[in-house]
A = this chain, B = another copy of it.
């Protein structure tokens, strides 16, 4: 079951560059583990924004929330979720 998530990140003004770098390292590790496990199908950077477009393949809404709320940067993310279905014109 697929979902598109449009995530944008806003760090608080007071966060130090070290803390940001630490969050980004944790985020990379968390994100890549999910990609390797097959639940995180694709992630794209949005040109010109600290934001991404992501495609997830999960078994339920509960699992999607578990994944999203587990992102190290979750408290700094705004996430808009669109539930996706098979399209009749898709050849996949």
Contact = CB atoms under 8 A, between A and B. Distances in A.
Interface of A: 1-5, 12-14, 27-28, 31-32, 35-36, 42-49, 52-53, 55, 60-62, 64-65, 68-69, 79-92
A44 B85 contact: yes
Give the secondary structure class of A's interface. Answer: mixed
Contacts of A14: 13
A85 B12 contact: no
Contacts of A36: 91
A46 B14 CA distance: 29
Given A53-B82, A64-B83, A45 B88 contact: yes
Nearest to A76: B13
